[in-house]
A and B are shown apart, each in its own frame.
Chain A
Amino acid sequence: FRGCSGGSTPSTALPWLLTAAHLKFSPVLTQDPPLEGLTTASTFVLDQPHCIFQDYGNADIWLVVALSQATSTFNNSAGPGTPETAFQSFPDPVRAYMTLNTTLGNYPCPKPDGDITVLRVGSETSCARDVTRPTCNGPLPGPGPYRVKFLALEGSVPVAETAWSVPIMLRTAKSPSSISTTGSGHNAGMIAITTILSILFAILLAGLVAMLVFWGSDFCGGSSTFSKPESVTVRRYNTHHVYDQPAARL
């Protein structure tokens, strides 16, 4: 295979094409529009590289997804679709795979207004275990971190590459048994209801006890104040001359 660094192997390619052009662009996670599923447990979403590879109209543009610590060992000449870059062997022993190839036509420049143009890495679940599809865009096997870059290949010659992205961490899911459902304590309303009602009930019970204990005794002081409507017993000495002195009647 052709050497990665300017080689001693004789080749027909011109020497300055052996190393791919290094573009200053670096892939980023999509910031606009804000996506709820920007990173999930096994996928993430990148902006499409519009207006980056304009000088390489004949190239196929591939996405390289690598483990964070494998970026320095990745060889641009590694061919896509080979066992060294097959998705199905990722992350072990393959430390970086290549997927999502397309031509420049799919990344038009300028970016069309109004369209949401993103690349969802990890969306193809049907070929995740299909070794006949080594360039499958399958779901990522772990939370990462991962770093990605775009690589333009003409035939099998790398002609341009972007910089590696910052490390991308995916989400890790916790177990639901870690959710604590113990109450946050009793709120004020419940305490108020309980207290007030208990007090009221206690007062009523006290009143009932007082009633029963003093049954029959005139504890309200003196003669009863209420008479039954139909009773004719004259307990109150109603006289016509209410202004008479009481002593005069005796």
Chain B
Amino acid sequence: MAKSDDCVHILQGLLVFGNVVIGMCGIALTAECIYFVSNPHGLYPLLKETENGDINAAAWIGIFVGLALFALSILGIIGVIKASRTLLLVYIILMLITFAFEMASCITAATHQDSLTPELFLKQMLERYQKSEPASNSDNDITKTWDELMLQNHCCGVLGPSDWQEYTSAFRLTHSDADYPWPRMCCVLDAKGLPVNLDGCKLGVPGYYNSNGCYNAISGRVNTHSWGVAWFGFAILCWTFCVLLGTMFYWSGIEY
């Protein structure tokens, strides 16, 4: 009957549209995860050392999931148009596997974002910034990363320059409190990289030192990462869920 033909065509059209969207989102997810993996924000050395292991795991999974989604969406479109039970069954099973992987990636990214508290960075900075006998290359990396962070964002420490006063640190072991209440990078520097007014910086006169903490700068960038991977992945999965339900319904209605 004409009516059921229309229903068929509408359902087919919806499924094709759904798969097109999935394909595009897959490409977008891949591109975004490649962007994050390539470490544009320079914070990778800090994040690498956190206890939850490699934050990039979620991003790497995202890359492959994105490509898989794109490939499967093409398979899905072909299967829907041809109304082939086999193709669609393969499609559904592979999609479920991809769904599971993406689920893991989202949860990893969301959990990781949770664990990046100021205390974590504070402890890491105090124990490893300017460590006099660097145990490994990562200590040097951490020092370099912090120096650049403080220079570019005009900030000092995690919560403020008082971090260096409230706690002893590896930095404090080699730099006396009277000469270096906080590292030189916390001073306002001129074009040559020297403090504009060293005494003003040591005293803590407003205008000659950076009084903000760097945590906002760090967490801002990391949160963008997590939002990108976790919540975008979540949105894709919700959409995929609807398309898969529709495909299952369509599959069950195909004659064989």
B-binding residues in A (CB < 8 A): 33-38, 40-43, 45, 116, 118, 120, 122-125, 138-139, 171, 173-181, 183-184, 186-187, 189-190, 193-194, 196-198, 200-201, 203-205, 207-208, 210-211, 214, 216, 219-220, 224-229, 231, 235-236, 238
* 20 pairs, A vs B, C-beta closer than 8 Å: A36-B211, A37-B204, A116-B200, A125-B176, A139-B177, A139-B178, A173-B165, A176-B167, A179-B123, A186-B114, A193-B107, A194-B110, A196-B238, A197-B237, A204-B241, A204-B245, A224-B253, A227-B255, A235-B255, A238-B1
Which residues of B sit under 8 angstroms from A194, Cβ to Cβ?
107, 110
Bound-state Cα–Cα, A34 to B35, Å: 43
Interface of B is mostly: helix
Contact across chains for B168 and A226 when beta carbons are under 8 A apart: no
Which residues of A sit under 8 angstroms from B131, Cβ to Cβ?
none
Contact across chains for A190 and B114 when beta carbons are under 8 A apart: yes
Contact across chains for A220 and B165 when beta carbons are under 8 A apart: no
Bound-state Cα–Cα, A193 to B235, Å: 10
Bound-state Cα–Cα, A41 to B180, Å: 11
Bound-state Cα–Cα, A210 to B249, Å: 11
Interface of A is mostly: loop
Contact across chains for A125 and B179 when beta carbons are under 8 A apart: yes
Residue in B93, B106, B111 whose CB lies within 8 Å of A197: B106
Contact across chains for A38 and B204 when beta carbons are under 8 A apart: yes
Contact across chains for B202 and A37 when beta carbons are under 8 A apart: yes
Which residues of B sit under 8 angstroms from A125, Cβ to Cβ?
176, 178-179
Bound-state Cα–Cα, A181 to B238, Å: 34
Q: How far is the CB of B87 from chain A (nearest CB, A)?
A: 12
Residue in A177, A180, A183 whose CB lies within 8 Å of B114: A183
Which residues of B sit under 8 angstroms from A231, Cβ to Cβ?
255
Given contacts A37-B181, A37-B204, A225-B7, contact A189 B110 (CB under 8 A): yes
